[in-house]
Amino acid sequence: MKILVVEDDNLTASALATVLGNQTYTVEIATDGASAWELIETFPYDLVLLDIALPKLDGISLCRQIRSHHYQMPILLLTAHDSSHDKAVGLDAGADDYVVKPFDPEELVARIRALLRRGQATAQAVLTWEQLQLDPHSCEVSYRGQILALTPKEYALLELFLRNPRRVFSCSAILENLWSFEDIPGEEAVRTHIKGLRQKLKAAGAPTDCIETVYGIGYRLKPASSPPQRHSGQARDAGSKCAHPGAEAPASSSAEQTLAAIADVWDRFKPRILEQVAVLEQAATAISSQTLTEDLQQQAQQQSHSLAGSLGTFGLETGSQMARSINQLLHCSGWSAAEGQRLRQLVAVLRQTISQAPAALKKSPSVLSTATAPAGDPADEPPLLLLIDSNPSTAAALIAEATHWGLRTELATHLAMAQARLSQLCPQVVLLNACSVDQSGLSDLRRQLPTVPLLVRLLEPAVPLDCQDLAPCVCLPPLSTPAQVLKDVMQQLHQANSIAAKTDATIMVVDDDPHLLAVVRVLLQPWGLHAVTLDDPTRFWQTLEAAAPDLLVLDLKMTPINGIDLCRQVRQNPDWSSLPILILTSCRDARTISQVFAAGADDFVSKPIVGPEFVTRIMHRLERVRLLSNLSEIDRLTQVSTRPKATLDLYKLLRLAQRQGQGLSLMLIQVEPMPALHSPGSAVLRQVGCGLRHGVREEDVVARWSETEFVLGLYGMPKDGQNRLQALLSVLQQDLIAAGFEPVTFRMGVAHYPDDGENLPALYQSALQQSIVLADSLADNLAEQPRDQHSAYHSCANKSDFCKSTSAI
Amino acid sequence: MAVKSILVVDNEPYIQEVTQICLEAVTHWHITTASSGQEAIDKAESEQPDAILLDVMMPDMDGLTTFQALQANPQTRHIPVILLTAKVQASDYRRYSEIGITGTIAKPFEPLELANQVAQLLGWTLQ
């Protein structure tokens, strides 16, 4: 509970803070009426303790102001005047009670408790959750009668959850409720206290998930296992609105709470909503068998109308649209066979949409667009398909298929509607029905979405659009099935992603079932994913080092070493600890899943594998890794700078060179496999990264530019950089061979600022054009020369020479 | 200061509840609910809400019949009524305003905007 003390006398204010703090209240102090008003407008308070004589704005005026703005938290006046007139003025101004100074601490606390109790007219004296009890009078918390020793903040946290049993609190909402304005700590503090509270609850025997984490939003009290109360009752129980607005979080988090509360209603009423769909199913069946009664038709009209009016509010806009189409069909009389079939199809898709709704509910842009989006990782969200189609039945079938492929969908029945929502939706791919758009409309759309794949479904027999003029669009042949259409959509999406990411990925899959591995290879290949499969887990580490995968898929049950153990080993290995890992498992029980995540896996995929799900999960994970990798500064494998980091550093060096009139060398090194060998493995790249890092000065830039390409930026380097780089690479080649690796090909190029270019792209292009292959001569030399001569070669072009030459500049 | 009160009328309990959540989330209004036209008429008379949000398509007594009954009753005729309905076309809006409906909000409504729409139609402030 948070109390605002408005008192200009520091001594009294600090005494009040101590007295109230001892009662576990959170206290904030304002020393004049104006700043108190600012605080009241900004933060939620459960009670205001108000001195009458205040600078800037006196207590009585402030009291009137608070009430005239409909704030209804209790106000307790502190007055030095024990006159009836003063008290009457105060109470008339909207105060609830008064205490005469000098106050007796015990009386003050009792009056505050009474006011807070009155605020929660129907709240229970003792707050309970299953067998957990919190007694606000004694400040005691017990579980099954056993007293818990909580810190004041843990107590306040628990009280907050118990008083608002259905509310999800974000970290910031908790901070605002439980800490005073001057000493709000970081969100980490909330997590620490939550952790402490959970541990104490667990030690007392309470369920560990009593305080639930709501992913991406915050925390809440887990709904008790007793049947849930209706919301209306609960809202008044908490006294949170009508009686006690001060206890509410500010607007920023109220949107999240509203959506969470709506999600809760959805969960509880989903069976009722499916009952409504069942009436539609009965009607559709009766229409097919020509046995529809008037009564059933009316009921079905009523239910479809109700669904059309409600599903959108739960985030299922497409559900509302389908229900509306169903409602229109149900208002016909005399249905053709085709209409009957269309009705059945629409109802079937509606049921599917509702059944799959929890995901749609949380992720629907129609809900989130106007809300504060949860702080989830955007890379976790499936791509959005914007479907522009005026035909409800084809749209319904496509939406169902898209859902199957793990896409989110938004339906616009005409182009103008889609265009109006483009900036809000930001689709990753657009699918249009040719009859819903004309040539100029399509050109407009292309201008609005220059990089998003547009796919147009052509109609038979007429082909109204000239695909030749729509080079950036993909025209799909008439009569494609929804499955074929979605396959094309997914491929376009993937291509767009690959172009964006500029590299395809290697997926290593370990499973002792060779049949499954064969299936996986076939599944991944069309998506540009290179599958490295292994059916013998004892060869895991050699294969991992050689394959250097971007993602690892491990079967859970393998012998002699299972997926969980392998996952743990990978997580403990410093070189591979951040490799994304998916676990394949046929068990989905809570214990297995928790083991999977406890071992450090990022995700799990159920067996038997469902193609679209498997590919989608891998794609999502890779997208996420790419996002993180773009954000990170050090390349995980080679420990040199990432490209984004290096780009910034190179620009800095370039500016310095311009200002100082110095030179700058940009060096490009590509590591290529020798003929007949596989692409360079991770260990080779790691060694190259290490060699380059140690071969230059600390202030130089060393970066992994792409998969097998490195870039060096050396400030002030003289023009013989090419020879020196060649020397460094020959040393690297020697080190690789000495470490037992096969020789690799180095392609190298050097460009100098300002002669070869004045900006980074120009220098890079110049280096690329001037690049030469080194490997042949080096390898030939090495192959022809005896080992002792290698050493001689080494000694004349060693790393220290390179370092000396660069540092001497 | 008297708290504004609103009577929400809808035969579907989950729509009642979502409507209530959306209004309570950003206002201090006191929300009560009714599940049928007749219950709405009774509660309007006894509770004298400041406004009524009324669904149109309800079994037994539809929203428009309920509205006419409220208008015919001297004790409830002053209460502004907003229709909250999926049954809205341009012609409906016209018809509703002609018979004295204060405003119409289309369903499905945007949850985070509902209170604002209601306040605007009634000329109330959200604070």
Q: Kindly state the DSSP code that residue A251 receives in the 8-state scheme.
A: H
Contact B86 A324 (CB under 8 A): yes
Shortest distance, CA B123 to any CA of chain A (angstroms): 16
| Any domain includes A26 | yes
Q: 3-state class of A142 per DSSP?
A: strand
Chain A residues in contact with B113 (beta carbon < 8 A): 370
- Is B100 at the interface with chain A, CB within 8 A? no
B24 and chain A in contact, CB less than 8 A: yes
What φ, ψ does residue A697 adopt, rounded to 5°? -75, 160
Q: Which residues of A touch B (CB under 8 A)?
A: 67-70, 72, 94, 230-232, 235, 241-242, 245, 251, 254-255, 257-259, 261-262, 265-266, 268-269, 272-273, 302, 305-306, 308-314, 317, 320, 324, 366-367, 370-371
Superfamily for the B5-111 domain: Response regulator (3.40.50.2300)
CA A317 vs. chain centroid, Å, equals: 22
Q: Shortest Cα distance from B88 to chain A (angstroms)?
A: 10
Least CA distance to A260: which residue of chain B? Answer: B21
The whole-number pLDDT of residue A486 equals: 85
Residue A148 per-residue DSSP state: E
Beta-bridged to residue A711, according to DSSP, are A668, A703
Examine the pLDDT at A295 and tell me if it is beyond 50. Answer: yes
Provide the number of CB pairs (under 8 Å) joining chain A to chain B: 109
Longest dimension (CA), chain B: 40
Contact residues on chain B for A314, CB-CB shorter than 8 A: 18, 108
Q: Residues of A123-149 as b/e, b for ≥16 C-beta within 10 angstroms?
A: beeebebeebbbebeeeebbbeeeebe
pLDDT tens-place string over residues A750-761: 999 888 888 888
Question: What is the DSSP annotation of A551-576?
Answer: EEEEESS-SSS-HHHHHHHHHHSTTT
Torsion on CA atoms A610, A612, A613, A615, rounded to nearest 10:
110
ω into residue A207 within 30 of 0, thus cis? no
Closest CA to A510 of A529, A530, A533: A533
CA–CA dist A6, A727 (Å, integer): 76
CB contact under 8 A, A310 and B13: no
What is the rounded distance in angstroms from the CA atom of residue A130 to the CA atom of residue A123? 16
ipTM score of complex? 0.86
A302 chain-B contacts, CB cut-off 8 A: 57, 59
Output b/e per residue, A372-406; b: 16+ Cβ within 10 A. bebeeeeeebbbbbbbbbbbbbbbbbbbbbbbbbb
- Residue identified by tokens 């909207």 is A94
Instruction: Report H helices in chain B.
Output: 13-26, 37-47, 63-72, 90-98, 114-122
E strands within A459-511?
473-476, 506-510
Residue closest to A553 by CA, chosen among A499, A621, A488: A621
pLDDT value at residue A790: 37
8 Å CB contact of B25 and A312: no
Q: Does B86 touch chain A (CB under 8 A)?
A: yes
Residues A155, A69: Cα–Cα separation, whole Å: 32
Distance, in Å, from the CA atom of A9 to the CA atom of A54, rounded to the nearest integer, reads: 9
Residue whose structure tokens are 């591979």: A576
**What is the structure's pLDDT at A500?**
46
**How sure is the predictor about A248, in pLDDT bands with cuts at 50, 70 and 90?**
very low
- Report strand pairing: A26-30 vs A2-6: parallel
* Contact at CB, B108 and A313, closer than 8 angstroms: yes
* Dist CA A75 CA A115 (whole Å): 8
Closest Cβ–Cβ partner in A241, A310, A370 for B112: A370
Q: What is the dihedral of CA A357, A361, A365, A369, to 10 degrees?
A: 170
- Map tokens 């001689």 to a residue: A792
The CA–CA distances, whole Å, from A802 to A433, A664, A764, B103 equal 63, 16, 22, 81
Minimal Cβ distance to B28: which of A241, A272, A313: A241
Q: What is the DSSP letter of A641?
A: B
Provide mean pLDDT across the span A723-746: 84
Sequence-distant (6+) residues with CB within 8 A of A546 are: A678, A681, A682
A63-67, A500-504, A561-565, A774-778: range with lowest mean pLDDT:
A500-504
Long-range contacts (CB closer than 8 Å, 24 or more residues apart) made by A219-224: A219/A161, A219/A168, A219/A169, A219/A174, A219/A194, A220/A161, A220/A166, A220/A167, A220/A168, A220/A169, A220/A260, A221/A129, A221/A161, A221/A162, A221/A164, A221/A165, A221/A166, A223/A165, A223/A166, A223/A264, A224/A129, A224/A130, A224/A165
Contacts of B34 in chain A (CB under 8 A): none
Chosen for mutation from B88, B107, B109, B117 (greatest number of chain A CBs closer than 10 Å) is B107
Residues A525 and A611 in one domain: yes
Which of A12-26, A293-307, A514-528, A655-669 has the largest mean confidence? A293-307
> What is the DSSP pairing of strand B5-9 with strand A772-773?
unpaired
Residues with Cβ within 8 Å of residue A406, at least 6 apart in sequence:
A382, A612, A613, A616, A617, A620
- DSSP secondary structure string for all residues of A439-466: HHHHHHHHHHSTTS-EEEE--SS---S-
Whether chain A has a CB inside 8 Å of the CB on B13: the answer is yes
As given in the structure block, the two tokens for residue A607 are: 């067996």
* pLDDT for res A376: 35
Query: How many contiguous H segments (helices) and E segments (strands) does chain A have?
Result: 32, 26
DSSP structure string for A336-374 = -HHHHHHHHHHHHHHHHHHHTHHHHHHH-HHHHTTSPPP
Is any Cβ of chain A less than 8 angstroms from the Cβ of B60? no
Assign B19 a pLDDT band (cuts: 50, 70, 90): very high
Q: How far B108 CA sits from the closest chain A CA (Å)?
A: 4
Q: What's the pLDDT score for residue A510?
A: 95
Mean pLDDT score across all residues of chain A: 76
CB-CB under 8 Å, A306 with B57: yes
Instruction: Return the closest-CA partner of residue B36 out of B4, B61, B17.
Output: B61
Residue A165 has pLDDT above 80, yes or no: no
Annotate A691-703 with three-state secondary structure.
Answer: HHHHHCCCCCEEE
Average of per-residue pLDDT across A367-381: 34
Nearest to A758 by CA among A668, A643, A666: A666
Query: What's the confidence (pLDDT) of residue A632?
Result: 66
Judged against a pLDDT cut of 50, whether residue A468 lies above it is answered with: no
Q: Is the pLDDT of residue A115 over 90?
A: no
Chain B hits for A306, Cβ within 8 Å: 11-12, 15, 57, 86
Structural domain ending residue among the three candidates A88, A119, A150: A119
Contact residues, chain B, for A305 at CB < 8 Å: 57, 86-87
Phi first, then psi, for residue A704 (nearest 5°) are: -90, 110
Give φ, ψ of A534 to 5 degrees.
Answer: -145, 125
Alpha carbon distance A50, A425 (integer Å): 48
Q: Is A238:A123 a contact under the CB 8 Å cutoff?
A: yes
User: CB A313 to CB B21 under 8 A?
Assistant: no
Contacts of B14 in chain A (CB under 8 A): 265-266, 268-269, 272-273, 310
Separation of CA A243 from chain center: 36
Arithmetic mean of pLDDT, A241-265:
54
If one counts the domains in chain A, the total is 5
Query: Which residue, chain included where needed, has tokens 């620490």?
Result: A192
Domain match, A222 and A309 both: no
> Cβ of A72 and B3 within 8 Å?
yes
Same domain, A798 and A654: yes
**Residue B76, pLDDT score:** 95
The Cα–Cα gap between A711 and A732 comes to 15
**Chain A residues in contact with B31 (beta carbon < 8 A):** 232
CB nearest to A302's CB, from B18, B59, B112: B59
Per CB-CB distance under 8 Å, the chain B contacts of A241 are 24, 27-28
Q: What is the pLDDT of residues A219-242, one digit of tens each?
A: 888 876 543 333 333 333 333 333
Which chain B residues contact residue A70 at CB under 8 A? 1, 3, 28, 127
Q: Helix and strand tally (H, E) in chain B? A: 5, 5
Give the end of a domain, one of A363, A379, A395: A379
pLDDT-derived band at A674, boundaries 50, 70, 90 = low
CA-angle at A308, arms to A302 and A314, nearest 5°: 125
Question: A180 with A211, same domain?
Answer: yes
Q: Are A45 and A2 in contact (CB under 8 A)?
A: yes
Closest Cβ–Cβ partner in B20, B57, B112 for A305: B57
Query: Nearest residue on chain B to A298, judged by CA atoms?
Result: B59
Q: Which of these three, A609, A631, A653, is where a domain ends?
A: A631
Query: Contact A58/A78 with Cβ under 8 angstroms?
Result: no
Separation in Å, CA of B99 to nearest CA in chain A: 23
Q: Are A124 and A236 in contact (CB under 8 A)?
A: no
User: How far is Cα A661 from Cα A705, in angstroms, rounded to an integer?
Assistant: 27
Sheet hosting strand A454-457, strand order edge to edge: A408-412, A384-388, A429-433, A454-457, A473-476
DSSP A432: E
Put simply, whether B126 touches A (Cβ < 8 Å) is: no
Which chain A residues are within 8 Å of B24, Cβ to Cβ? 235, 241
CB–CB of B22 and A306 under 8 A? no
> Could you tell me the CATH number of the domain that includes residue A69?
3.40.50.2300
User: Are A744 and A766 part of one and the same domain?
Assistant: yes
When CB atoms are compared, the residue of B25, B87, B108 closest to A310 is B108
**Residue of chain B with shortest Cα separation from A166:** B21
Buried b (16+ CB within 10 A) or exposed e, A745-754: bbbbbbbbbb
Distance from CA of A445 to the nearest CA of B (A): 26
Question: Residue B80: pLDDT above 90?
Answer: yes
Question: Can you name the residues that pair with B95 across neighbouring β-strands?
Answer: none
* Closest chain A C-alpha to B110 CA, distance in angstroms: 6
Going by C-alpha positions, the residue among A375, A422, A30, A418 that lies closest to residue A171 is A375
A94/chain B closest Cα distance in angstroms = 9
The verdict on A245 and A259 lying in the same domain is no
B117 contacts on A by Cβ (under 8 Å): none
A255: closest chain B residue by CA = B112
Choose the closest CB to A308 out of B1, B86, B111.
B86
Chain A residue nearest residue B27, CA to CA: A241
The residue type at A42: T
Pair A608, A680 in one domain: no
Mean pLDDT of B115-123: 90
Cβ atoms A309, B83 nearer than 8 A: no
pLDDT at A609 over 70: yes
Q: How far apart are CA A722 and CA A665, in angstroms?
A: 9
Please indicate if any CB of chain A lies within 8 Å of the CB of B28: yes
pLDDT tens-digit map of A50-76:
988 888 888 888 988 888 776 778 899
Two tokens at B68? Answer: 């006419």
A203-221: per-residue pLDDT in tens? 888 887 788 876 556 788 8
Q: Is 90 exceeded by the pLDDT of residue B41?
A: yes
- Smallest Cα distance from A367 to chain B, Å: 7
Domain hosting A283: range is: 251-379
Please check the confidence at residue B37 and state whether its pLDDT lies above 80: yes
Sequence-separated (6 or more) residues with CB below 8 Å from residue B120: none
